[in-house]
Amino acid sequence: MATRRNSSDKQRQVFQRVLQLSMGLFALVYIVLGYFVIKLKWLMVPLSDTLAYAMGALLVAYGIFRGYRAYLSIKDTMND
């Protein structure tokens, strides 16, 4: 029984680590995408300056939010 529990805990830790890594990666993707939307003024279709800055700012803000959530998740896992 104890080995099964240890194995399950280890699998859960690996899954948590992969999940946290992907959260951080996607946060970075959103930030970079927001930067490119602002810089190139393009997101599948050409965008006006105002729309490009608004969409880019939203993507960067969402990326920062996702990064913060990933940080909290990692910090919470470290405390356990």
Q: Please classify residue 68 by burial: count the beta carbons closer than 10 Å to its beta carbon, then call 0-12 exposed, 13-18 middle and 19+ buried.
A: exposed
Neighbours of 9 (CB within 10 A): 10
Q: Is 32 within a domain? A: yes
Alpha helix stretches (DSSP H) within the chain: 2-40, 49-79
Whether the Cβ atoms of residue 69 and residue 23 lie closer than 8 Å to each other: yes
Q: What is the pLDDT of residue 78?
A: 84
pLDDT greater at residue 5 or residue 29:
29
pLDDT of 1 strictly over 60:
no
Kindly report the average pLDDT of the chain as a whole number: 90
Whether the Cβ atoms of residue 56 and residue 38 lie closer than 8 Å to each other: yes
Predicted model pTM: 0.83
pLDDT of 50 strictly over 60:
yes
pLDDT, mean of residues 54-75: 96
Range of the domain at 62: 19-79
Q: Is 40 within a domain? A: yes
Q: Is 38 within a domain? A: yes
